[in-house]
Amino acid sequence: MQVEVDIAFEQLVQLAKKLPTAQWTQLKKAVDTVEQALVERKELEMFLLGAPTFSKKQLEAINKARQEINQWRTK
């Protein structure tokens, strides 16, 4: 069963302030974990987008080498 509740940000803050220490710590840890995962994903995305790429000439050389290796293996 899933229930959706529409509460204002200030109400959410007030509810969070009323949490016992153990639950507050658990909530903070859960929020920080999600935040860290988003940061790590963004870093990975930036790394991959900034990585070097092959030129057309390099890709052609790779394909040619593959074809030659395949011919050698079938002989």
Residue 47 contacts residue 39 (beta carbons within 8 Å)? no
- Give residue 75's pLDDT: 63
pLDDT tens string 10-38: 998 898 899 999 998 998 888 888 788 88
pTM: 0.43
What are the C-alpha distances in Å from 47 to residues 4, 36, 40, 43, 58? 37, 16, 11, 6, 22
Mean pLDDT computed over 43-60: 93
> What residues does each domain of the chain span?
9-74
Which residue bears the tokens 């395949």? 70
